[in-house]
Amino acid sequence: MANDTSLNLNLPTLKHTLDLGKQLGRLLSAGTILLLEGDLGAGKTTLIQGLGAGLGITDAIVSPTFALIHEYPEGRIPLYHFDLYRLTSAEVHDLHPEHYWLGLEAPLGITAIEWPQRLSDEPENYLSIELAHIEHGRTAALSISGVVDCWNEVRRSLTAESTAT
Ligand SMILES: Nc1ncnc2c1ncn2[C@@H]1O[C@H](COP(=O)(O)OP(=O)(O)OP(=O)(O)O)[C@@H](O)[C@H]1O
Ligand SMILES: [Mg+2]
């Protein structure tokens, strides 16, 4: 069930996941926090690769492992990519992801976080995307918490596409 703060999409192919990311990369504003949930292999990194393309980033986007965070300053606005899978909540706390989404550590951009369940302090305002496997492809459940700039525009533009359910 979709309402003003959520939207459900079908992503039948890999290209749909990339295109969803691209749309978000074109529309989201600096300061947006994107929390990506879903099982191993659900498509979180793929969506962030699309997001990078939509922002105009040409560097290859791969999940941060040893680096913990990858910074991509070259696009329309900066992208900060966290993958918290291997970390404990205490380690995540020491990493201070809020310094990125508050623009304290680096210029304000989009902070995209895989495995946000590991966050010790959940942000107040964010866009959550929960990806799930289905027989052919994936589903994406988008929802906002608090205030997310451009959400209405994002919702309108994604609803106009035939994948909205
Ligand atoms: N809509 C889709 N339909 C079919 N395959 C897809 C779709 N979206 C992504 N994939 C494929 O799913 C696989 C896993 O994707 P990805 O690495 O992005 O997942 P992930 O959620 O980041 O996994 P992890 O939890 O390990 O970080 C990739 O091979 C990708 O091409
Ligand atoms: Mg991943």
pLDDT digits (tens, 9 = 90+) for 117-133: 999 888 999 999 999 99
The pLDDT of residue 1: 45
- The total number of structural domains that make up the chain: 1
**Assigned domain for 106 exists:** yes
Which candidate, 142, 163, 146, 162, places its Cα nearest to that of 1? 142
Determine the 3-state secondary structure of 76 from DSSP. coil
The count of residues in the chain is 165
pLDDT at 165 over 70: no
DSSP state of 74: S
Q: Whose CA is nearest to atom 29 of ligand 1?
A: 41
| 1 in any annotated domain | no
The reply to whether 165 falls in a domain is no
Going from the C-alpha of 151 to that of each of 57, 116, 140, the distances in angstroms are: 22, 20, 16
**119 Cβ contact partners less than 8 Å away, ≥ 6 residues apart:** 84, 89, 92, 97, 113
The model's pLDDT over 48-89, given as tens digits with 9 standing for 90+, comes to 999 999 999 999 999 877 778 899 999 999 999 999 999 998
Q: Cα dihedral sign for 62, 13, 151, 36?
A: negative
Is any ligand 1 atom within 6 A of the Cβ of residue 163?
Answer: no
What does the pLDDT read at residue 164? Answer: 54
Average pLDDT (89-107) is 92
Mean pLDDT of the chain: 93
3 found inside a domain: no
In a domain, 118, yes or no: yes
Average of pLDDT values for 137-160? 95
What CATH number corresponds to the domain at position 32? 3.40.50.300
Ligand 1: nearest atom to the Cα of 49: 18
Q: Is 45 in the pocket of ligand 1 (CB under 6 A)?
A: yes
Give 120's Cβ-side CA count (13 Å radius).
Answer: 12
Best residue for ligand 1 mutational test, from 46, 63, 115, 131 (most atoms within 8 Å of Cβ): 46
Q: Would you say the CB of residue 44 lies under 6 angstroms from ligand 1?
A: yes
Pair of tokens at residue 111:
């902070």
Boundaries of domain holding 52: 13-159
- Cα 46 from Cα 91, distance rounded (Å): 25
Of all residues in the chain, what percent carry a pLDDT higher than 90? 84
Residue 45 banded pLDDT, cuts 50, 70, 90: very high
Task: Note the pLDDT of residue 131.
Answer: 98
51: three-class secondary structure by DSSP:
helix
Q: Does residue 163 surpass a pLDDT of 90?
A: no
pLDDT in tens, 5-17: 999 999 999 999 9
7 found inside a domain = no
Q: Is residue 134 part of a domain?
A: yes
Q: Is residue 164 part of a domain?
A: no
